């Protein structure tokens, strides 16, 4: 049975090292994300280019993350993470150098975003499947929640620092700080005892991959969760890419306003992650997922309609809570349901639907925003999310409690 203690995963030395390193590194990553969006918007004044660059970042995950899951199950995970974290320094440094020289072009931003996305195609499924090897199956729900808390705590810290850094030190500072932040995770990984055991002998890339797919296809609840994540990735989550337009054109708040918008979403997300960590386990996961999915969807539609900045900050906090609550519950539900030897491959499919479909969604939202206006495009995405979330919630809630929360 999962451990219900509060923050129980932090009792493991390896996880503590990893978690504190993550907070530093992810804060830098969020700084770069905000700075990159503002850089693209400053160069082009176009929501279409925001969508294109965001798609370039996520396209490699669409193409390569399933292969990344196979790699995660075939090599020691700690060594893979040391490699991916080291490589992640390169695009951040290059962005900082070219931006500080004043010669950066949009296509170069897209190229560096694609390079980082390629690295993340291996890093994300490896990182997700490594959590259970640091803490064990009994505390994996708590580890997932705390890992999400680190991600979303950084989502508050990073954008707010980025907004101030852009205002007072310029864009390049954000990229250089991010490059340095990866050293924290590299140090943590180098001090860990866990290596990420190779639990199964490879039978070939295709055969290894298909075993993961066959497992997912045989588990209806896992399929259901992943389909809803896919819908959110296609028409819900891409709203983040368009936040520079909201900050500049809807609310007229500039780079600081963008930092507050992203940070507000992070506050809601952090609240969700910490709440789940305090619970220790979610007793009625599918019911909780239904409520959280509807919460995110309704908040997205409301945000698109709001014209008052401070009201929009509250709405986006609620949306952040709903999105992270759904993802954390779905992640833990999948992790405890999958055999150890298939975890990397199954989590690569999770990463694929969560992150890999985003380039398609960003392209759709970028083109839609250019054609019908940013607020209308986000409103349409919110309406679609509401319809699909409601359909899935109805399917869950019509089941008996025993089947629904199995």
Output the six-digit token pair for 133: 């090897």
In whole angstroms, give the CA distance from residue 336 to residue 132: 9
Q: Do residues 336 and 141 lie in contact, with contact meaning Cβ atoms separated by under 8 Å?
A: yes
Q: What is the pLDDT along the chain (406 residues), one digit of tens a residue?
A: 444 456 778 888 889 999 999 889 888 988 898 889 889 988 888 777 887 887 788 788 778 877 777 787 778 888 899 999 999 999 999 999 999 998 999 999 999 999 998 998 888 888 877 887 788 766 777 887 788 778 777 777 887 788 888 888 888 999 999 999 999 999 999 888 766 555 555 555 566 667 667 777 767 778 888 888 899 989 998 888 888 888 888 888 887 788 788 878 878 888 887 887 777 666 667 788 888 999 999 999 999 999 899 999 999 999 999 988 888 888 877 877 777 667 777 777 787 787 778 778 877 888 888 888 889 999 999 999 999 999 888 766 665 444 444 4
In degrees and rounded to multiples of 5, residue 204 shows phi and psi of: 110, 150
131: Cβ contacts below 8 Å, ≥ 6 apart: 15, 140, 143, 144, 147, 335
All domains of the chain in start order, with CATH: 8-192+202-404 (1.20.1250.20)
Output the six-digit token pair for 179: 């490059």
CB atoms within 10 A of CB 103: 9
Chain centroid, CA 95 distance in Å: 22
Q: Do residues 264 and 320 lie in contact, with contact meaning Cβ atoms separated by under 8 Å?
A: yes
DSSP string, 9-34: GGGSHHHHHHHHHHHHHHHHHHHHHH
Cα–Cα distances (Å) from 371 to 223, 364, 384, in that order, read 34, 11, 18
Return the residue matching tokens 């940013």.
Answer: 374
Chain centroid, CA 67 distance in Å: 19
- End-to-end, the C-alpha distance of the chain in Å comes to 13
Of 125, 270, 127, nearest to 192 by C-alpha is 127
CB atoms within 10 A of CB 360: 18
In 276-379, which ranges are E strands?
Answer: none
* pTM confidence score: 0.70
Q: Nearest 5°: CA angle at 148, between 196 and 380? A: 125
């Amino acid at each position: 049975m999962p451990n219900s203690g509060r923050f129980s995963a932090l009792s493991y030395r390896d996880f503590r090292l990893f978690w504190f390193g993550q907070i530093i590194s992810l804060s830098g990553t969020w700084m770069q994300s905000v700075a990159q969006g503002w850089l693209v918007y400053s160069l082009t004044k176009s929501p279409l280019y925001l969508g294109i660059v965001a798609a370039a970042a996520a396209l490699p995950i669409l193409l390569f993350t399933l292969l990344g899951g196979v790699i995660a199950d075939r090599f020691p995970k700690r060594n893979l993470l040391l490699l991916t974290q080291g490589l992640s320094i390169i695009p951040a440094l290059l962005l900082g150098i070219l931006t500080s020289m004043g010669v950066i072009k949009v296509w170069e931003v897209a190229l560096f975003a694609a390079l980082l996305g390629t690295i993340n195609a291996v890093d994300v499924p490896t990182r997700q499947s490594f959590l259970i090897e640091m803490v064990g199956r009994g505390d994996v729900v708590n580890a997932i929640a705390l890992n999400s808390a680190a991600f979303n705590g950084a989502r508050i810290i990073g954008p707010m620092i980025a907004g101030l850094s852009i205002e007072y030190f310029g864009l390049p500072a954000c990229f250089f700080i991010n490059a340095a932040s990866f050293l924290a995770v590299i140090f943590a990984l180098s001090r860990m005892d866990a290596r990420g055991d190779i639990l199964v002998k490879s039978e070939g890339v295709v055969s290894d991959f298909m075993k993961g797919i066959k497992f997912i296809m045989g588990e209806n609840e896992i399929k259901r969760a992943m389909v809803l994540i896919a819908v959110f990735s296609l028409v819900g989550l891409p709203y983040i890419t368009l936040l520079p337009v909201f900050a500049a054109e809807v609310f007229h708040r500039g780079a600081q306003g963008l930092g507050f918008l992203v940070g507000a979403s992070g506050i809601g997300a952090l609240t969700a992650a910490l709440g789940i960590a305090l619970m220790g386990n979610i007793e009625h996961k599918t019911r909780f997922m239904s409520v959280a999915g509807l919460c995110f969807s309704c908040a997205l539609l409301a945000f698109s309609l709001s014209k008052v900045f401070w009201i929009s900050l509250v709405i986006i906090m609620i949306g952040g809570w709903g999105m992270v609550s759904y993802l954390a519950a779905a992640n833990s539900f999948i992790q405890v349901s999958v055999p150890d030897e298939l975890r990397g491959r199954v989590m690569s499919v999770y990463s694929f639907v969560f992150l890999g479909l985003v380039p398609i969604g960003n392209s759709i939202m970028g083109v839609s925003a250019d054609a019908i206006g940013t607020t209308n495009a986000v409103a349409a995405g919110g309406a679609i999310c509401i319809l699909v979330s409601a359909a899935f919630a109805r399917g869950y809630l019509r089941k008996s409690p025993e089947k629904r929360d199995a």
